[in-house]
Structure 1
Amino acid sequence: MHQPAQGYGQGPGFGPPSGQGYGQQPGYGPPQPGYGPPPGYGPPGYGQPPKKKKTGLIVGLVVGGVVLLGLGIPGGIFASEYYSSVGKAPVSQQPPAECQVSPEVLNKAVTTSYQGVRENEIKAGKIVIKQYGCSWLPPESDNVHDRSLQIMVYRHEGPDAEKRAAESSAGSAAPSERQQQVQGIGEKAVLVTLDTDSAFSGAELRYTQGVYVVIVTYKGWDKGFFTNSPIPPAESAEAAKSVGAEIAKKLPR
C-alpha cells in the first residue's frame, strides 16, 4: 500500500498556537470590574486561531495521485487484456457426420463455437486415406477458457484398409509422452497427456476402429488477470474421452 508522503498529516503550523497572546497580553492590566470576555470566548486579544497550513496535505495528495495514476495505467492494460475474448463466432456450416458432437459435451468442454472442417484425400495407387479435420473454440462471450478442441478422422480405403488402420499411429506416442490405455472406446485407444511446465496443458485421445483412425485433441489454458493456469488434468482427460466416445458410436464398424 502506498505510504503517505512526508508532511501528509502533521505539517508546519499544525498544533496549538504559540504561548504569546494565549493568556494575558503585554500592556494589558488586570480586567476592570464588570468587564471581561463574553461567555464562551477566549481571553482578550486572542482572536481567531491561526489557520492550519495545508502544505503537507497538498503534497500528500499530489504524490498519492501520481502513484495511483502510475498504477492505473498498467492496471488498465491488464484489465483490457483479461476481459478480451478468447473465443470466436461460429461459422455458418454444420460439422460433417464424422465430426458431430452433442451440445452437452461441447458445453462441458467450453468449446461450443464450431470453426469448420478441412477435408483432404491422399492416394497412392489403390491405397486411399480420406481426412476430416474439425475444430471448435470457446464462444465470443468467454474471456477465461482459452481452449480448443480438434478432431481428426482418417478413413483408410483400398486393399487391407482395416489392417493399415490398426497398424497406424493410435498407439505410437513418443516415449516422453505420458500415456495410458483406455477401455471402451474403439478397438485400441490411448490417452496422451499434453501437460507442460508452462500453463499450456491438455490431453489427446488416439484410437482405431475398423478402417478409421481418430485423434481428439483438447488443449489450452485458463486465462488469469496476471498469470495463466493450466487446465486441470482430469478435466482435459474427461473432455477428450467424452468427445472420442461420441465419435466412436457413430463410426461404422
Structure 2
Amino acid sequence: MNQPPPHGWHQQPPPPPGWPQQQQQPQGWQPYPQPPKKNKAPLIVGIIVGVLVLGVAGTFGFLYLGANSDSGSPKRGGTMPGVCANVPEAALAKARTTNGNPAMSRERKLANHTQTSCAWDQTKGKDGSGLRNTDAYVVVGDAGQEYERRVSQSKQNNQGTINERPLDGLGDEATAVLVDGKSAFLQVDIIVRKGDTVVEVEHTGWDSGMFGNKRPDVTEFEAAARGLAEALLAEV
C-alpha cells in the first residue's frame, strides 16, 4: 500500500549553498527607465561653426598680413653721388624712402649741362608698409629749356588723370604734376627752376589698407616730395 508523500514533498528543496537565489519580482514592478540618448546635433553644429570661424579668421589674417607686409629692402651700403649724398635724413624719412640706391644714382657731365640722378626706396623695418619710391634729378645749365621739357614730359604720363598747378615760394618757378589713377597708385612730380638749376622730384607709391592697397593722402604725399625738392635746391 502506497504511503502518502511526506508533508511538504511537493515543495522544491532549497538550492545548495553558493547557488544564486531566484528572486521573485513584486507585483507591478517595472524596470528602471533607460536614460534618453543625447542629441549630437548641437555638438556637430558647434564644430562646423567653429571650423568656419577659424577659416574666416585665417583668411582675413592672411589678407591683412599680406596687405601690410614690409615692402622695404635691407639698408644698402655705398655712397650716393654729388648732391644726393647731402639730402637730410629727416626729408627722406618724411618721404619714407631712406634707403639710397647708389647703383641707380649717377652724375654725368654733358656738353652744356651737368645732370645728377638720385634714387631712394624704403628701408626694411624702418619706412613702414605700402610702397614708396623717390627719384630726383638735378640739372645745372640750360635751365630754361630743361624746365619746360621736364614739365611737358611729366604731363605725358599715361598712368592716370593729370593735374597740374603752379607752386608758390619754391625757386623762381615751380610746378606740381599729379598723376591720379583709378588704382591705389599715386605719383607726384615737383619740377623747380632756380637760376640756372632745375630740380625734379618724382615720388610714387601707395598705402596699405585692411585687405588691399589704398590711395595715399595727396596733401602728405605732395608735402614729402616738396620737402625733398627744397633739400636738393639748398645743396646747389
Asked whether the two chains share a fold, i.e. TM above 0.5, the reply is yes
Partner of 2:96: 110
Q: Could you tell me how far apart the structure 1 residues matched to 2:120 and 2:83 are? A: 14
- 1:81 maps to which of 53, 59, 66: 66
How many Å apart are 1:233 and its aligned residue?
Answer: 0.9
Q: Could you tell me how far apart the structure 1 residues matched to 2:143 and 2:164 are? A: 24
Q: What amino acid is aligned across from residue 27 of structure 1 in structure 2?
A: G
Is the CA contact (8 Å cut-off) linking 2:72 and 2:121 kept in structure 1? yes
Computing the radius of gyration from Cα coordinates, the structure with the larger value is 2
Distance of aligned partners of 1:174 and 1:66 in 2 relative to their CA distance in 1, 3 Å threshold:
same
How many Å apart are 1:137 and its aligned residue?
Answer: 1.9
Deviations 1:154-178 (A, max 9, x none): 233xxxx355445543466538621
Higher RCO by CA contacts (8 Å cutoff, separation 6 or greater): 2
Is the CA contact (8 Å cut-off) linking 1:206 and 1:216 kept in structure 2? yes
> Helix, strand or coil: the match of 1:180?
strand
Partner of 2:162: 177
Distance of aligned partners of 1:174 and 1:202 in 2 relative to their CA distance in 1, 3 Å threshold:
closer
Note the residue ranges of structure 2 that are not aligned, 5 or more in a row.
Answer: 1-26
1:235 has 2:236 as partner: no
Distance of aligned partners of 1:204 and 1:75 in 2 relative to their CA distance in 1, 3 Å threshold:
same
What is the aligned-residue identity percentage? Answer: 24
1:55 has 2:40 as partner: yes
What is the number of residues matched between the two proteins?
A: 203
Deviations 1:128-186 (A, max 9, x none): 44332212222211552311222122233xxxx35544554346653862111112222
TM-score (norm 1): 0.67
- 2:115 maps to which of 131, 138, 144: 131
TM-score (norm 2): 0.72
Is the CA contact (8 Å cut-off) linking 1:181 and 1:191 kept in structure 2? yes
Q: Could you tell me how far apart the structure 2 residues matched to 1:166 and 1:235 are? A: 24
Distance of aligned partners of 1:178 and 1:83 in 2 relative to their CA distance in 1, 3 Å threshold:
closer
Deviations 1:6-36 (A, max 9, x none): xxxxxxxxxxxxxxxxxxxx915xxxxxxxx
